[in-house]
Each structure stands twice: as structure tokens, then as C-alpha cells.
Amino acid sequence: MLNSDLLPPLISKIYENQLALEASIMELSNWVEQRGSKDTAENIRGALNTIDENEEFIKLTLAVLLAPD
């Protein structure tokens, strides 16, 4: 049985991990671009846009889940 009290912190930690991965991948795309692969760097950044597009929804959902009763 799922402990519903653990769900909000779990989702919050997954979100933190997602942001950390986004930041590290962005650093790699900058490194790739500096070495002359501008097209590849742009493709990476395009894929990262999905994270940006979903960020507001995730933050709002977390705020609702973590709000005191």
C-alpha cells in the first residue's frame, strides 16, 4: 500500500533531480557548441525546452500537494 504522505516529497525530489539533470545537460551542450557542433548543441537545447515547458505545471502541482491542510 502506498503511503500518501510520502508522495509529495518523492515528487519533489524527482523534480529536483530533473532540474539538476537539465543544468548538467545544458553545460554539456555549451561544451559541445564551443567545440564546433552548433547544430548538436541546438538540438540538445531544443529537447531541454520540454523541461522548461512543463516546469510551471510541476511547480504548481507541487505547491498544491505540499500545501498544509
pLDDT tens digit string along 16-53? 999 999 999 999 999 999 999 999 999 999 999 988 88
Instruction: Say what the pLDDT of residue 69 is.
Output: 67
Instruction: Say what the pLDDT of residue 28 is.
Output: 95
Instruction: Say what the pLDDT of residue 39 is.
Output: 94
pTM as predicted: 0.72
Residue 68: is its pLDDT beyond 80?
no
Contacts by 4-12, CB closer than 8 A, 24 or more apart? 7/65, 8/62, 8/65, 8/66, 11/61, 11/62, 11/65, 12/62, 12/66
Query: What is the distance between the alpha carbons of residues 53 and 4, in angstroms, rounded to a whole number?
Result: 27
